[in-house]
């Protein structure tokens, strides 16, 4: 089934005092991630926000808890600003909702530009939780100048693909254990990967070995971004093929233009003003808000009608519609090469994944 309910109120709520549901989301302290965490929290989930900055994350958690309490108290959203949020998010804090117990939100230290940090975070999580029901690979990097990480990967490739690959495979045994322990659980344990229209920028000839450190950087940065996001779709398709116990899907949340992902370009001297104007115009014509983008993620995360048998490895877009990614992203031969290359590169750096 490729249709997903549009009304977020139809998605299941779990009383955390009775049914503990656990989620991890990367980059959940801002943008789409913030609103995704907010809705998971309101639906009773215990959410771990994986982030570099503890101070920013804790500040975000305080704001999130405040917003959640206001939404539950305001009923139909009598506050104009709150009403605007409720209308965008599709959540009305009616009397039933106001009586619900909310979940929990915790900080999990993780830096996607450092692979060892990911391994450490997984070990920390395993000391706190035995089960994991939902992993959302939300964090990403876009339109950055060519930079190498401490692990000697291009920054966009590592943040948007290599790190989610390693994180997911390290957490996969816990996701599978959850599926085995609770065979009738709904929604099924799942992995969500936030994709982007930008994956279309990848070359028709797809090759992760290509350095792409040339001028003009403003053009090449988008191609590097497209390659990374295409590789992410490849990963989800291969993971779905190899691990049928967990539902793995890619989600395109829409063109989110009002985040800080373009900060590098808008902060450039003189030309930064031009870039800022262009991004604002593009956002006004084509963009959607972070709240709206988060709804697409929540629908795919919580909808019990999505099944491993019918939906594993698929790609969803706005209003929960199944989409077809680019030909390169949809090519399973490329996907297999992406998997093999990534496992090899991680192994070279001492990150061995049994069975991968």
SS3 5: coil
Q: Alpha-carbon distance 326 to 247, whole Å?
A: 21
Q: Which of 41, 45, 193, 225 is catalytic?
A: 225
Neighbours of 5 (CB within 10 A): 13
Q: Provide the H-helix boundaries in 14-104.
A: 31-42, 54-73, 80-89, 95-98
Question: Which helix (DSSP H) or strand (DSSP E) does residue 105 occupy?
Answer: strand 104-109
Q: Is 229 annotated in the active site?
A: yes
DSSP percent split of the chain into helix, strand, coil, nearest 5? 50, 10, 35
Write down the catalytic residue from 113, 179, 195, 196: 195
Q: Which H or E run contains 47?
A: strand 45-51
Euclidean distance between CA atoms 213 and 230, whole angstroms: 18
Show Cβ contacts of residue 144 under 8 Å, excluding neighbours closer than 6 positions: 155, 156, 221, 264
Go through 231-257 and write b for each residue having 16 or more CB atoms within 10 A of its CB, e for each that does not.
bbbbbbbbbbeebeebbbbbbbbbbbb
Residues in CB range of 71: below 8 A, 6 or more apart:
42, 77, 82, 85, 86, 91, 93, 97
d(CA 56, CA 102): 22
The active-site residue, picked from 170, 229, 237, 314, is 229
Count Cβ atoms within 10 A of the Cβ of residue 303 and give its class: 0-12 exposed, 13-18 middle, 19 or more buried. buried
Chain centroid to CA 202: how far? Answer: 20
* Residues 6+ positions from 259 with CB-CB distance below 8 Å: 30, 31, 32, 290
Angle separating helix axes 31-42 and 54-73, nearest 10 degrees: 50
Catalytic residues: 195, 225, 229
């Amino acid at each position: 089934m490729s249709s997903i309910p549009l009304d977020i109120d139809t998605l299941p709520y779990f009383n955390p005092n009775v049914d503990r549901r656990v989620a991890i989301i990367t980059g959940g302290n801002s943008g789409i991630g913030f609103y995704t965490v907010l809705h998971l929290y309101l639906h009773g989930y215990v959410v771990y926000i994986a982030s570099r900055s503890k101070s920013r994350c804790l500040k975000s958690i305080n704001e999130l808890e405040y917003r959640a309490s206001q939404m539950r108290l305001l009923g139909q959203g009598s506050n104009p600003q709150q009403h605007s949020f409720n209308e965008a998010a599709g959540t009305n804090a009616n009397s039933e909702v106001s009586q619900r117990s909310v979940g929990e939100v915790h900080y999990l230290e993780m830096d996607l530009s450092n692979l060892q940090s990911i391994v450490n975070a997984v070990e920390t999580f395993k000391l706190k939780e035995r089960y994991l029901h939902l992993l959302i690979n939300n964090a990403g990097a876009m339109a950055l100048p060519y930079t190498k990480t401490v692990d000697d990967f291009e920054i966009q490739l590592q943040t948007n693909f290599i790190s989610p690959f390693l994180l997911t495979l390290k957490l996969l045994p816990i996701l599978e254990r959850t599926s085995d322990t609770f065979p009738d659980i709904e929604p099924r344990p799942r992995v969500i990967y936030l994709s982007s229209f930008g994956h279309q920028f990848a070359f028709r000839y797809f090759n992760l070995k290509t350095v792409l450190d040339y001028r003009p950087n403003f053009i090449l940065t988008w191609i590097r971004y497209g390659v990374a996001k295409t590789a992410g779709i490849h990963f989800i398709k291969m993971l779905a093929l190899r691990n049928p116990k967990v539902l793995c899907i890619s989600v395109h949340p829409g063109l989110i233009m009002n985040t800080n992902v373009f900060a590098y370009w808008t902060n450039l001297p003189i030309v930064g003003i031009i870039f800022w104007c262009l991004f604002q115009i593009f956002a006004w014509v084509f963009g959607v808000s972070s709240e709206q983008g988060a709804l697409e993620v929540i629908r795919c995360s919580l909808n019990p009608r999505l099944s491993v048998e019918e939906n594993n490895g698929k790609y969803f877009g706005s209003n929960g519609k199944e989409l077809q990614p680019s030909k390169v992203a949809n090519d399973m031969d490329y996907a297999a090469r992406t998997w093999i290359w990534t496992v090899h590169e991680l192994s070279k750096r001492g990150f061995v994944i049994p069975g991968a």
